[in-house]
Amino acid sequence: MVRHPDPPMTGRATVLRRLTRWCLAPLPAPPVTLRRGPLRPGVFRSRLRSTRLTGQLGVALGVAFAICFATGLLSHLIQHPPGWFWWPARPVGLYRFTQGLHVATGLASIPLLGAKLWSVYPRLFSWPPVRSIAHAAERASLGLLVAAALFLLVSGVLNISRWYAPMPFFFTAGHYWVAWLAVGGLLVHIGVHLPAVRAALVRPVGEPRQDGLNRRTLLGGVAAASGLVTLTTVGQTIRPLTGLAVLAPRHPDVGPQGLPVNRTAAGAGVRAAALDPAYRLRVTGEGRSVSLDLAALNRLPQYTAELPIACVEGWSATGTWTGVRLGDLVALVGADPRRSSAWVESLQVDGAYRACTVPPEHVGDPLTLVALRLGGEPLHLDHGYPARLIAPNRPGVLQTKWLSRITVAGTG
Ligand SMILES: Nc1nc2c(c(=O)[nH]1)N[C@H]1C(S)=C(S)[C@@H](COP(=O)(O)O)O[C@H]1N2
Ligand SMILES: [Mo]
């Protein structure tokens, strides 16, 4: 009898089955003489640790990370908008809220992550260290998740403290890409552990009370720590809590004209150009161009708006800004503000925040100003004298100071 070869599907299925079996096959146990120190049996005795505790901390941490990731991704999209993305100019303080939430949930995650790692770290020393290839892969992905989560929290804290020396990479790019690694690792982690966590979260009937009480005390302590971190930092964006913000690196009312300064004129190397009597703001449209000195800017209709500076670093503060509507300048060169975007450049020659694009929603918004005054006085040199951009619902990095040129482009 002639034997036919297996049809291709069956062949592939066999390979898959073999691969799965190979991945799950128990590996030979390492020699018992290696079982020393924390690898000895019964070293970790705390009765506080349980799947239930780990699960509850995991749920809290998962929620905090999800909010942190969503708000961080939003901030990234606003700063680097792909074609499909759209961000409105109203409500005025929406970005202030989402970015405040990003930094607050990140900070509140620190005690949660600490407690969660404490609750599971004995598993690092489980015996045998790897049971199978699949087990090794799961441990590796968990290692990646823990490393990514620690990286995000540490780099985030360094960023809001404006301490860049320990970060030999561009903060925003590193923070952004590692967030994707963390999300991938988190999804794998949730997929692997969901059944066990779900079972442990449904309290088994007749669970001894005293254990539950201890666990609750611990959870209460962790919640209190997270709450305390939030309470002592969130005042950098919520004005009535400013007095409590002892851990916040920035205070929203400390700085020239009662407002913090992110980068000074000296730091940006623009002092001379900003103070030069020959200063002009050049507005260029398709085929038309105007050049305005400070007196000419002051002669245009002036408007006042209460708008926050909402820094990506989590601090924010409201100012009373007065100046010319960006839409009026765009109209001066014959363009329709509601159908134009503007490329706004600073006197600053280099640096990541020397220029930005203002999309039509913001160009056409009556609150988007080329501000000449703050709190009724001419802008302080460090707040962008002679003229700066201030627009509703935008990250601080997009509120360009020391404007030199506005290039208008129609959007059809
Ligand atoms: N030209 C220029 N504009 C800039 C910056 C900068 O570095 N260069 N920093 C931005 C950032 S990150 C913030 S938060 C705001 C802060 O404005 P303020 O210093 O007036 O508070 O300015 C923005 N405008
Ligand atoms: Mo900022």
pLDDT at 7 over 70: no
Rounded Cα distance, 310 and 280, in Å: 28
What is the model's pLDDT at position 60? 96
Alpha-carbon distance of 357 to 369, in angstroms, equals 14
Contact 95, 310 (CB under 8 A): yes
Euclidean distance between CA atoms 397 and 98, whole angstroms: 15
409 closest CA partner among 241, 283, 246: 283
Indicate the residue type of 299. R
Task: Compute the 3-state secondary structure of the chain and give helix, strand, coil in percent, each to the nearest 5.
Answer: 50, 15, 35
The type of residue at 59 is: V
Tokens of 368: 């988007």
78-82, 125-129, 208-212: the lowest-pLDDT one: 208-212
What pLDDT is recorded for position 245? 87
**Most confident option among 47-51, 138-142, 189-193, 274-278:** 274-278
pLDDT tens for each residue of 57-105 = 999 999 999 999 999 999 999 999 999 999 999 999 999 999 999 999 9
Q: Is the CB of 145 under 6 A from ligand 1?
A: no
Is there an atom of ligand 1 within 6 Å of 351 CB?
A: yes
Phi-psi region of 201 (alpha: psi -120 to 50; beta: other; left: phi over 0): alpha
Tell me, in angstroms, the distance from the centre of ligand 2 to residue 62's CA. Answer: 27
Ligand 1 centroid from CA 312, angstroms: 11
- In a mutational test of the pocket of ligand 1, which residue from 353, 404, 406 has the highest number of ligand atoms less than 8 Å from its CB? 353
- Alpha carbons 40 and 140: distance in angstroms, whole number: 22
- 387: nearest Cα among 316, 262, 302: 302
Q: What is the dihedral of CA 13, 18, 24, 26, to 10 degrees?
A: 160
Percent of the chain with pLDDT over 90: 77
- Give the mutation target among 397, 398, 406 for probing the ligand 1 site: most ligand atoms within 8 A of CB: 397
Ligand 1 atom 13 nearest Cα: 396
User: Which atom from ligand 1 is nearest to the alpha carbon of 389?
Assistant: 24
Q: Which two tokens stand for residue 122?
A: 């004995």
Residue nearest to ligand 1 atom 4, measured at CA: 400
Token pair listed for 381: 């040199």
250 Cα–ligand 2 center, Å: 11
Does ligand 1 lie within 6 Å of residue 358's CB atom?
no
Work out the number of other CB atoms within 10 angstroms of the CB of residue 111. Answer: 21
How many whole angstroms from 38 Cα to the centroid of ligand 1?
Answer: 50
Residue 330, burial from CB neighbour count under 10 angstroms (0-12, 13-18, 19+): buried
Q: What distance lies between CA 151 and its chain's CA centroid?
A: 13
Residues 196-199: contacts with CB under 8 Å, at least 24 apart: 196/51, 196/55, 197/51, 197/54, 197/55, 197/58, 197/59, 199/51
Which atom of ligand 1 is the closest one to the Cα of 313?
14
**pTM higher than the cut 0.85:** yes
CA distances from 392 to 92, 320, 367, 382 (A): 5, 12, 6, 20
- Asked whether residue 199 carries a pLDDT value surpassing 70, the answer given is yes
Confirm or reject: Cβ of 226 under 6 Å from ligand 1: no
- CB of 402 closer than 6 A to ligand 1? yes
* Nearest CA owner, ligand 1 atom 18: 261
pLDDT the model gives residue 8: 56
Between the CA of 337 and the centroid of ligand 2 the distance, in Å, is 26
Report the alpha-carbon distance of residue 132 to residue 113 in Å, rounded: 28
On the question of pLDDT at 151 being above 80, the answer is yes
Alpha-carbon distances of 337 from 283, 304, 389, rounded to whole Å: 13, 19, 15
Distance 301 CA to ligand 2 centre (A): 29
Residue nearest to atom 15 of ligand 1 (CA): 396
User: What is the mean predicted confidence (pLDDT) over 333-345?
Assistant: 97
Average pLDDT over residues 118-138: 92
The β-bridge relationship of strands 281-284 and 403-410 is parallel
Mean pLDDT score, 129-144:
92
Q: Which residues are within 5 Å of ligand 2 (an ion), measured at CB?
A: 262, 311, 396-397
CB neighbour class for 362 (10 Å; exposed up to 12, middle 13-18, buried from 19): buried
| 162-174 pLDDT per residue, tens | 888 889 889 999 9
The pLDDT score that the predictor gives to residue 250 is 82
Instruction: Look at residue 72 and give its three-state secondary structure.
Output: helix
All CATH 3.90.420.10 domain ranges in the chain, comma separated: 258-410
Q: State whether the Cα torsion 127-131-135-141 is positive or negative.
A: positive
Confidence class for position 239, pLDDT limits 50, 70, 90: confident
Q: Is the beta carbon of 263 within 6 A of some atom in ligand 1? A: yes
Q: DSSP readout, 271-326?
A: HHHHH-TT--EEEE-SS-EEEE-HHHHHHSPPEEEEEEEE-TTS-EEEEEEEEEEH
Q: Among 1.10.1740.10, 2.60.120.580, 2.160.10.10, 3.90.420.10, name the CATH number for the domain at 258-410.
A: 3.90.420.10
- pLDDT confidence of residue 363: 98
CA 114 to ligand 2 center in whole angstroms:
28
Average pLDDT score, the chain: 92
* Nearest Cα residue to atom 24 of ligand 1: 400
pLDDT of residue 209: 57
